[in-house]
């Protein structure tokens, strides 16, 4: 996980290290193995990483996440104004990608919760499960069967069909 | 003991008979071992050396050798270069955009080689967007002009008071009215 992850969304489970109550004089093989692992694998890898980082730290590059301005939607474009259509289409595509990533994040949270709780996940992670269901239902209703050649126009038409169905049902 | 001396005299006699035959040396005619031709090797290293008859693999091995050579000729410098970039320059880290600062378009990428390519080789995404919008605008204007041309055609054909669809006819001054002026000619 990156260093700046959301601590509330991924809470750490309580530590369960048992109290050491050694009653024999024999050496603990688990302790020996862990020390062996530390000295043969962990320490060399960490020192290698530190040397590489010290070499790298002279020229530190940064990158940013681009923020895009909001442009008029497809519904606010004049008919036949093709540049406006293009801008709305690009904005819709960016929003589609963002929504896909949102679904992935929510899914990841549910999976992390299930991994944490073990066999009692169904009762302990109700919030995550309910959030996942809601988010996927909304995603499906908005972008559901648009297919590979999805476009802003098709999404708008789908929304229109949804609204018509809702009106027909309520009437 | 007597038999031994008999054998020895027999060996000397045989050596006398055929001195030029190899192996008939009087010294070792009794003590030599009988050569066994089915088990020849003295040391059991890799077994008997055989000449295996198989088709030539020279061309296959030459192909593989040349393939290896030509792949590694550029492969190794590329691998060394990419490793050096990753070790000495390293990937970028994510940071918040500072206030009032407009990052350049290559500062949105992580790997230094990608950043270099985007900076020097590719056009900026703003420029690409504008190019696309310009192409769309030109096509839109062309389509609009074609639509107006069709409309103008329709109007001119219908009303007939425009410059198009004029059929050239003879000058009306050339008409000879003289037979029409006197009816009973």
- pLDDT of A59-91, one tens digit each? 688 899 999 999 999 999 999 899 999 999 999
Residue B2, pLDDT score: 59
Whole-number Å distance between alpha carbons of B96 and A64: 6
CB within 8 A of B97, min separation 6: which ones?
A64, A65, A67, B103
Would you call A64 and B91 a contact, using CB atoms and an 8 Å cutoff?
A: no
- Of residues A101 and B13, the one with the higher pLDDT is A101
- CA-based nearest residue in chain B for residue A80: B140
* The two three-digit tokens of residue B135, written as one number: 């192409």
Burial A155-168 (b: 16+ CB within 10 A, else e): beebeeeeeeeeee
Q: How does residue A15 score in pLDDT terms, banded at 50, 70 and 90?
A: confident
Whole-number Å distance between alpha carbons of B171 and B178: 16
Would you call A64 and B103 a contact, using CB atoms and an 8 Å cutoff?
A: yes
For the stretch A92-99, contacts whose Cβ atoms lie closer than 8 Å and that sit 24 or more positions apart, written own/partner, are A92/A151, A92/A152, A92/A155, A93/A152, A94/A68, A96/A143, A96/A150, A99/A139, A99/A142, A99/A143
> What integer is the mean pLDDT of A103-121?
91
- Residue A38 CB neighbours (<10 A): 11
Terminal C-alpha separation, chain B = 178
Tokens 């990533």, residue located: A101
Would you call B88 and A64 a contact, using CB atoms and an 8 Å cutoff?
A: no
- CA-based nearest residue in chain A for residue B90: A56
Q: Does A83 touch chain B (CB under 8 A)?
A: yes
Chain centroid offset of residue A80 CA:
38
Would you call B92 and A59 a contact, using CB atoms and an 8 Å cutoff?
A: no
pLDDT (tens digit per residue) in B60-71: 999 999 999 999
SS3 annotation, chain A: CCCCCCCCCCCCCCCCCCCCCCCCCCCCHHHHHHHHHHHHHHHHHHHHHHHHHHHHCCCCCEECCCCCCCCCCHHHCCCCCHHHHHHHHHHHHHHHHHHHHHHHHHHHHHHHHHHHHHHHHHHHCHHHHHHHHHHHHHHHHHHCCCCCCCCHHHHHHHHHHHHHHHHHHHC
- Of residues B125 and B36, the one with the higher pLDDT is B125
């Amino acid at each position: 996980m990156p260093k700046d992850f959301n601590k509330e969304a991924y809470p750490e489970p309580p530590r369960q290290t048992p109290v050491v109550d050694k009653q024999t004089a024999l050496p603990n093989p688990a302790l020996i193995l862990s020390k062996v692992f530390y000295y043969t694998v962990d320490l060399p890898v960490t020192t290698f990483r530190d040397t590489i980082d010290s070499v790298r730290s002279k020229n530190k590059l940064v990158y940013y996440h681009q923020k895009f301005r909001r442009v008029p939607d497809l519904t606010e474009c004049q008919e036949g104004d093709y540049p406006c259509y293009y801008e709305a289409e690009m904005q819709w595509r960016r929003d589609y990608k963002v929504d896909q990533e949102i679904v992935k994040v929510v899914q990841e949270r549910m999976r992390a919760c299930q991994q944490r709780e073990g066999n009692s996940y169904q009762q302990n992670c109700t919030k995550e499960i309910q959030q996942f269901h809601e988010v996927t239902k909304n995603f499906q209703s908005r972008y559901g069967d648009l297919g590979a050649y999805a476009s802003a126009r098709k999404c708008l038409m789908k929304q229109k069909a949804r609204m018509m169905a809702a009106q027909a049902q309520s009437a | 003991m007597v038999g031994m001396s008999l054998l020895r005299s027999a060996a000397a006699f045989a050596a006398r008979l055929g001195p030029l035959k190899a192996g008939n040396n009087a010294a070792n005619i009794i003590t030599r071992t009988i050569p066994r031709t089915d088990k020849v090797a003295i040391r059991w290293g890799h077994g008997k050396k055989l000449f295996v008859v198989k088709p030539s693999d020279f061309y296959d091995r030459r192909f593989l050798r040349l393939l290896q050579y030509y792949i590694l000729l550029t492969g190794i410098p590329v691998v060394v270069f990419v490793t050096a970039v990753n070790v000495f320059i390293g990937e970028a880290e994510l940071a918040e955009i500072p206030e009032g600062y407009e990052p350049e378009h290559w500062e949105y990428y992580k790997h230094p080689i990608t950043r270099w390519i985007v900076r020097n080789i590719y056009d900026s995404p703003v420029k690409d967007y504008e190019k696309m919008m310009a192409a769309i605008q030109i096509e839109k204007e062309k389509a609009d002009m074609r639509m107006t041309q069709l409309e103008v055609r329709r109007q001119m054909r219908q009303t007939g008071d425009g410059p198009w669809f004029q059929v050239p006819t003879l000058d009306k001054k050339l008409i000879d009215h003289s037979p029409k002026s006197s009816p009973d000619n």
